[in-house]
């Protein structure tokens, strides 16, 4: 069964990302975080505020939780701990 991490955004609602498609996450700035996809040609850019307060760490923690939970818990939210605010998500090429 597929597993997903979920970003609760202000503009796009809940955005579910298949964990099998995620290569890694990094914080680009306080207003942008990036999730690189395994195909090597695309990334998801998450906009918001306070993202330097743990965006990539919280994405990685959600990935670990998703991997460790039972198959019936298919979606794991990315924590907003540290004052993170997610506004929107866009897919683009690298």
For residue range 15-54, list pLDDT tens digits in order: 999 999 999 999 999 999 999 999 999 999 999 999 999 9
CA distances from 55 to 2, 14, 44, 69, 71 (A): 23, 16, 13, 21, 25
* 53: three-class secondary structure by DSSP: helix
Mean pLDDT across the stretch 58-86? 95
Task: Average the pLDDT over 66-81 and give the result.
Answer: 93
pLDDT at 65: 96
- Sequence-ordered alpha helix ranges (H) in 1-94: 55-68
- Cα gap 38→9, rounded to integer Å: 23
pTM to 2 decimal places: 0.93
Predicted confidence at residue 1, as pLDDT, reads: 80
In the block, which residue shows the tokens 């970003």?
A: 7
pLDDT at 14 over 90: yes
């Amino acid at each position: 069964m597929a597993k997903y991490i979920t970003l609760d955004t202000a503009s796009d609602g809940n955005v579910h990302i298949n964990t099998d498609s995620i290569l890694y996450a990094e914080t680009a700035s306080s207003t942008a975080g990036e999730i690189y996809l395994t195909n090597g040609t695309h990334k998801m850019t998450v906009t918001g505020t306070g993202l330097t307060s743990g965006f990539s760490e919280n994405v990685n923690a959600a990935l670990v939780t998703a991997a460790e939970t039972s198959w019936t818990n298919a979606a794991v939210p990315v924590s907003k701990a540290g004052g993170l605010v997610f506004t929107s998500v866009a897919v683009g090429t690298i």
